[in-house]
Structure 1
Amino acid sequence: MRYPPIFQVAAADPGVTALLGVRPMRLYLFGLAPPKPKAPYCVWQVISGAPEIFLAGRPDAEAYSLQVDIYAASAEEARATGHAIEYAVELSATVTGYSGESLETETGLYRYSFDVDWIVQR
């Protein structure tokens, strides 16, 4: 199984790196963010996926749905960071939905969330 190249695509976009940094870039696979990362930061995870279905032969692609969550000190910063990531990935993938916004009571950070569908060639 291959994973969608969200990190590589985001890291190549100057709008994203201006907000999330470069070394390190604060874009983490779920569960791998350090304790209390500097905001803004982003986490992503695969929420579903499956190989393409063919009547004969091995599939040559896999389709994934990702959930992307941005955390920031303000709602404006969370939205701006989310829009930058959306802009970066939309030439390689499809933004399929917006999953809401919230204020995290434990951290005091604002969350902006969206979903992306990505087809990955094997």
Structure 2
Amino acid sequence: MTQIDRDTDALVGDWLTIREAARALGVSPNRIKQLIRDHKLLGATRSGELSIPAAFISGGDVVKGLPGTLTVLADCGFSTDEALRWLFTADDTLPGAPIEAITANRGTEVRRRAQAMAL
């Protein structure tokens, strides 16, 4: 897994360990690792421990629209660190950060923007 830099760590804010994420989703830690491999979640190493952003889980499930967005970003060649920065950096035209738009059920627009970056 990817070790992220301090700026990205601070930008993301709240993180969950793999065990905490597994508990929040009601699955095993191995399932969380599989979701990361399948680009349904992003995981990064923080202080030697694999973690995911807390904003990726809401109401006991992965935020609707996030997996599709992560797949688009991976297809565009974004590293984990780049994808996290993009998802958590405010964009005045959305408004807010892309993760906020996805959480507010505006994932289609976020994916459209991600796809446009690949062109």
Output the TM-score relative to the length of structure 2: 0.27
Task: Pick the structure with greater CA Rg.
Answer: 1
Output the TM-score relative to the length of structure 1: 0.26
